Structure 1
Amino acid sequence: MKTSRSVGAFLILLLGAAAMVGCSERASPSTSPNAPASPHSTATATAADITTLGFESGIGLPADTTVHWDLALDDMQGWELVDDRMADLNEGDHVVYNAELTCVASFMHLDLAGTTGLTDLQASDDALRSEVERGAVRMDPAAVISSSLGFQTAGNPGLAARRYIAQAETGVVGVFFARALVSIERGVLFFATCDSEELALETAETLLQKNTVVLR
């Protein structure tokens, strides 16, 4: 792939990635009323006090909890924000691209309204599948693995998440992370789409070390 910095080259890359992952829309996981709910609960005075949140702990979040990405934009040299109007993003969502025009990364928020009967893990997998399959790429459930996201403060990988790697027919590779918080009907999604799997994994690791998920 050419690494021209022209607007045309950027649009080709961005649209190619969007064709696989649908980066301008939130994931909308399906409901599954027959799925068992987690029996575990973790109550806390305020969500901001939590430093580790496993999949079985989300059910105990206070009802007024909010979740969002805390982006360290000043610490992301070599990355530029996509104009919200160009990507038609939802409020609070951000897309960035690197100077070489070989990667696009998206920090998104999930609206889980109406999702009932699922555990956080099940809803996270649903969110992954919904986003991956927007681009006609079938997700293999057996290839989804547990991972983590930075949580509350940089350097704290305290938020359990699910991860999947997908490859489009064009050769673009996407690394996806999702965490659903069913009890508050919200969640977060991250994905990096690049020219190769190695570059996508490296990009995801670098960006997720700098940018964290925050509960308030």
Structure 2
Amino acid sequence: MYRMVFSRFLDGRFVASRTYVVRQHAISTGRSKKLSASPPSFARTRSHLACRTTAGAALAAVPRSTILCRGRAGHASGRRKKMELVTHKKFKNGRLMPWGKGTVVSGAKGTVYLCGNTATSDDYDPASKKGGGFAGDAAAQWRGVLGNIKSDLEELGSGLDHLIRLTFFVRGPFPDGGVLSSPNFRLDVLDAFFAEHCPKHCSYNNPPPSEVIGVAALAQADIVIEIVAVAALPD
């Protein structure tokens, strides 16, 4: 046996309709009854239904049946939730790793995917392959790249606080064969930058997930680091 109640809504608010239609199917007999009632007498129908309207919300109660209610509360439940970003720490044998396990984002308006950032100079022209040099050493390039990422995220409506992921492309040499041995990998500069602008992302606090990839060359001969950032876009 099932019963259904149909009500009219306008802009998320209940509007009392003139008639309510209830169809009751009896499986044992195969018969079908159709009952109609106006709002004042709706509670006195055989199926003992009750319908009340309070402050723009409707409650339809049906004995031994599912209750479906929509009104102001239902409309509010469809609103966008406040963004929440949680970065989970990565541990090995109880030791905190300098990269996060993963970032879980909910309620974000969108996602910002930045291009690969390098510390090329303002005269960089990739089409003519002219300019783009950077006179600084690896540490200076890291600071320049991280500063670019901060500015780009803020310009696009996000920020360092909403970082989801980082990818580091580090140019060799690699003395022991691993990327972390390269003099161009500067975790100390990364931590110093975050300590100043967003302390929670320091490698000893709660760093975002990241990848470190070694490469033989980057866009220009004197570029030693390129970083790609992904961040959430809050409301």
| Normalised TM-score (structure 2) | 0.24
Structure of greater relative contact order (alpha carbons < 8 Å, 6+ residues apart): 1
In proportion to residue count, which structure has more helix? 1
